[in-house]
């Protein structure tokens, strides 16, 4: 499994994709985004530029010898009115900012989840669930940081600076030219250091992802950690990863403090000094009012200089975190619906594999020209040693993976030209390890058919003998089963999975070791329920315990991706071939592998 975050620096295309999504949200929500973007800047102009301008005018009047209340009072009242107006505009801006942040994060969360749901099964085998969770939540959450930085760090600084330039131009154009020139020079001097720091931030974010992925991996496998007394080992690994994160954080933070700010600080001091000097010497002095305005506006500009690093730091942090997710979107899903997908119109529930070629990535072909015909209503047992391709065959029928050659037909319709949702609506699937959601027992059963009535859910539960253990649960069917169903035993989880299949009521049934975790008594009961379920349905049943499939219409023996033989139980025993040897090698209901077949394959296939 690849650990999310191993790539220290997301490609620029991932960052561009983040910007595309974020700017699209602002464009689509322009009635809310427009006041959110610009009202705080107008509030700043009132509070920090027009207000000081009125005070400077008041001081200028006083310096000119004017002291009458009728002359000075309008400036005082105007100053108060401007400050009040600025506060009102600010609060209105925050009102719209809260809404653009909340709505944007909601929509981006939906987009992120939709993108993950569109990924194929192999993608989730290659990525930690914990890291994926952090990435998709970071993608939506970072929108708030992006918008806030854009508003408070850029627009709320640039627009007031433009206003200041207009005012200073009235006093003398040189004041504007020098101010803008010094800001530009500071930006050019700081840029190389800021770009260097970007790489350090990328390393920091990757280290953060590795920590979160490790923690999630350990917590989701806590029983295994305790069973192997590995608490100290896992704690030590966590300490190592946290130490790496601390080192990466300090490097990025110190670089900003000791490199970038050492360039900006002298330039900001120089800017303020030059501004005051110009106001004093230009044309023998521009007067008290101009001196105060110049000092105030230049001081505000130096604040902008100091925020170069902070603004860039916040932007790079939010975009880099979000790009950890969009990087996953650069590679499209391998299993997608055909552009001209056909409408569901299967004639029956027959299944046919025609000259199927399939290989797991990086491995030689498992199936190379496989042919298998399952007529409608036929019950097929798939047997053979591990690694033969039994489970892979069921996953190909579900189209969790795509074949590289040949075709798979359901009811005469090529599944590669069907919508995936339509194909899977025809199939009820019980995997080797039933997956449970951290929801109630009732919700886990109803997951197969959300529109099912309470009576239908209870009927499926009774048929799968779920009701036999429900009485022992604290809240019956309303009991939360825990993450991945940890509050239930393996046999109980299999019964819930069987109840789902019964409730699904699909014409094709895929059972992959569906009763392997049941005790003998429970298995007899559930087997009878399964036979009732399979009546008039097409069924493909994977089994290692051959006793569970002896009543099937036909048994197919798979060996290294090839059909070694097929026929009924009696026919295969009489043939004295592979199946006969497997049958005689069974002991206590388990298949005893021949010594030469006990090699554990490194490929992801299962059988």
Separation CA 577–CA 474 (nearest Å): 51
Would you say 419 and 409 are in contact if contact means Cβ atoms under 8 Å apart? no
Alpha-carbon distance values, 312 to 155, 182, 261, 267, 305 (Å)? 14, 19, 12, 18, 11
Predicted local confidence at residue 588, as pLDDT: 40
Separation CA 591–CA 545 (nearest Å): 7
Predicted local confidence at residue 600, as pLDDT: 35
Task: Count CB neighbours of 7 within 10 A.
Answer: 14
- φ/ψ of residue 357, rounded to 5: -120, 130
Crossing angle of helices 69-117 and 12-28, in 10° steps, is 120
Determine if the pTM surpasses 0.75.
Answer: no
Predicted local confidence at residue 196, as pLDDT: 75
Which positions of the chain have pLDDT values less than 70? 1-10, 256-258, 260, 283-286, 309, 346-347, 515-522, 525, 586-607
- Residue 541 half-sphere exposure, CB side, CA atoms within 13 Å? 29
Measure the CA dihedral 294/300/303/305, to 10°.
-60
Separation CA 281–CA 292 (nearest Å): 14
The per-residue DSSP string of 124-174 comes to HHSS-HHHHHHHHHHHHHHHHHHHHIIIIIIIHHHHHHHHHHHHHHHH-HH
How big is the chain, counted in residues? 607
Rg (CA), the chain: 35
Separation CA 52–CA 278 (nearest Å): 19
Predicted local confidence at residue 604, as pLDDT: 42
Measure the CA dihedral 411/416/417/421, to 10°.
80
* In the block, residue with structure tokens 């709320």: 156
Nearest alpha carbon to residue 273 among 178, 408, 161:
178
* In the block, residue with structure tokens 């322009």: 30
Nearest alpha carbon to residue 402 among 200, 120, 590:
120
């Amino acid at each position: 499994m690849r650990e999310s975050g191993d790539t220290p620096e997301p490609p620029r295309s991932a960052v561009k994709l983040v910007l595309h999504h974020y700017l699209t949200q602002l464009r689509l929500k322009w009635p809310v985004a427009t006041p959110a973007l610009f009202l705080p800047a107008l509030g700043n102009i009132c509070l920090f530029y027009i207000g000081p301008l009125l005070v400077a005018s008041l001081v200028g009047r006083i310096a000119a010898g004017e002291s009458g209340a009728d002359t000075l009072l309008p400036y005082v009242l105007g100053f108060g009115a401007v400050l009040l107006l600025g506060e009102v505009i600010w609060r209105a801006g925050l009102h719209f900012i809260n809404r653009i942040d909340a709505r944007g994060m909601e929509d981006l969360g939906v987009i992120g989840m939709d993108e993950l749901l569109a990924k194929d099964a192999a993608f989730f085998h290659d990525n930690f669930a914990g890291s994926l969770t952090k990435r998709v939540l970071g993608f939506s959450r970072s929108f708030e940081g992006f918008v806030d930085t854009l508003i408070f760090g850029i627009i709320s600084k640039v627009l007031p600076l433009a206003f200041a330039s207009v005012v200073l131009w009235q006093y003398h154009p040189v004041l504007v030219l020098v101010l803008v020139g010094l800001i530009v020079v500071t930006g050019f001097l700081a840029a190389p250091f800021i770009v260097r720091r970007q790489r350090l931030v990328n390393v920091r974010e990757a280290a953060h992802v590795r920590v979160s992925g490790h923690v999630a991996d350990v917590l989701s496998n806590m029983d295994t950690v305790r069973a192997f007394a590995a608490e100290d080992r896992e704690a030590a690994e966590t300490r190592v990863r946290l130490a790496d994160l601390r080192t990466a954080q300090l490097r990025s933070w110190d670089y900003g403090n000791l490199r970038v700010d050492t360039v900006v600080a002298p330039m900001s001091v120089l800017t303020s000094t030059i501004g005051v000097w110009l106001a004093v010497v230009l044309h023998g002095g521009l007067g008290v009012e101009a001196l105060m305005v110049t000092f105030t506006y230049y001081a505000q500009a130096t604040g902008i200089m100091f925020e170069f690093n902070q603004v860039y730091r916040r932007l790079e942090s939010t975009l880099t975190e979000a790009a950890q997710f969009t990087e996953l979107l650069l590679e499209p899903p391998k299993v997608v619906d055909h552009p001209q997908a056909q409408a569901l119109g299967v004639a029956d529930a027959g299944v046919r594999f025609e000259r199927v070629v399939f290989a797991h990535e990086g491995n030689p072909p498992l199936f190379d020209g496989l042919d298998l015909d399952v007529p409608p209503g036929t019950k097929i047992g798939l047997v053979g040693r591990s690694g033969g391709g039994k489970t892979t065959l069921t996953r190909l029928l579900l189209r969790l993976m795509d074949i590289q050659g040949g075709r798979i037909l359901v009811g005469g319709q090529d599944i590669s030209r069907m919508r995936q949702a339509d194909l899977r609506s025809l199939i009820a699937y019980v995997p080797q390890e039933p997956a449970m959601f951290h929801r109630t027992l009732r919700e886990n059963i109803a997951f197969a058919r959300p529109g099912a009535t309470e009576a239908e859910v209870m009927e499926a539960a009774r048929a799968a003998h779920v009701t036999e253990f429900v009485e022992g649960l604290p809240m019956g069917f309303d009991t939360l089963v825990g993450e991945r169903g940890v509050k239930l035993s393996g046999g109980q989880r299999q019964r819930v999975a069987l109840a789902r299949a019964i409730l699904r009521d699909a014409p094709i049934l895929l059972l992959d070791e569906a009763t392997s975790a049941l005790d003998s008594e429970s298995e007899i009961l559930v087997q009878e329920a399964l036979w009732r379920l399979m009546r008039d349905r097409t069924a493909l049943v994977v089994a290692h315990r051959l006793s569970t499939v002896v009543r099937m219409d036909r048994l197919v023996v798979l060996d290294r991706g090839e059909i070694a033989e097929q026929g009924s139980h009696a026919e295969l025993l009489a043939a004295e071939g592979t199946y006969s040897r497997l049958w005689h090698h069974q002991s206590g209901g388990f298949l005893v592998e021949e010594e030469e077949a006990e090699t554990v394959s490194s490929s992801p296939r299962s059988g």
